[in-house]
Every structure is written in C-alpha cells, then in structure tokens.
Amino acid sequence: MSDILSFLERPQLFTACAIGGIPVYWMLGSIFYNDMDDFLDALRLFFQPDWLSALRGEWGDDQWQSLKLTIFIAICIGAAALIYKGARLVF
C-alpha cells in the first residue's frame, strides 16, 4: 500500500481523510444518483462489455452511465485530496 501512496508525504493521513470523507461521497452520490438502485445500475453498465450493451439496446445508456460514474469517482478522489490538503495544514 505504501508503494501506491508513496507520492504522499503522509499516506496514513490520506487514508484517514479518504475514510473520513465518506459523508461527502454520500452527499455527492445523492446529487449524481436518485437512489442506490440507480447507482448499482450504473456500476452494472460500467462493467458490462460494450458489445453486450449494444446487443441489449442499452449502448447509449451504458455510455452515459459510465461517463457519469467516472466523473463521480474523479470528484470523490478530488474531495479526498482536498480533505487531505486541509488536514495537513492542521496536523
């Protein structure tokens, strides 16, 4: 784990900030998705091969849900980085 987070000065603090940011991720998730079923459907479409989505007639929805999930994950990573940056100033 330390190899993955070696670019950070304090990887344990980043991990604590990422875990402590769960309420922020939950709030962001409620903005992106209506309910848990909508989020799980996005996960299903994200991991479903594109050719299978095309056969099922879900290709357009697959592309949109995959993009939305990617943006959601990127924003959550950014939120964790901002929390870490703030925590470094305090600790």
pLDDT, mean of each 10-residue run, the chain (91 residues): 65 90 96 95 95 95 96 94 90 83
- Note whether residue 28 is domain-resident: yes
pLDDT at 62: 95
In-domain check, residue 68: yes
User: What total of structural domains would you count in the chain?
Assistant: 1
How many residues are present in the chain? 91
List the structure tokens of 17: 């900030």
Q: Domain range for residue 43?
A: 11-90
- Nearest alpha-carbon partner for 38 in 19, 21, 46: 46
In this structure, is residue 2 part of a structural domain?
no
Q: 6 in a domain, yes or no?
A: no
Q: Can you give the pTM of this predicted structure? A: 0.84
The pLDDT score that the predictor gives to residue 3 is 61
3-state secondary structure of 87: helix
In angstroms, the CA 79 to CA 13 distance is 14
Residue 3 maps to a domain: no
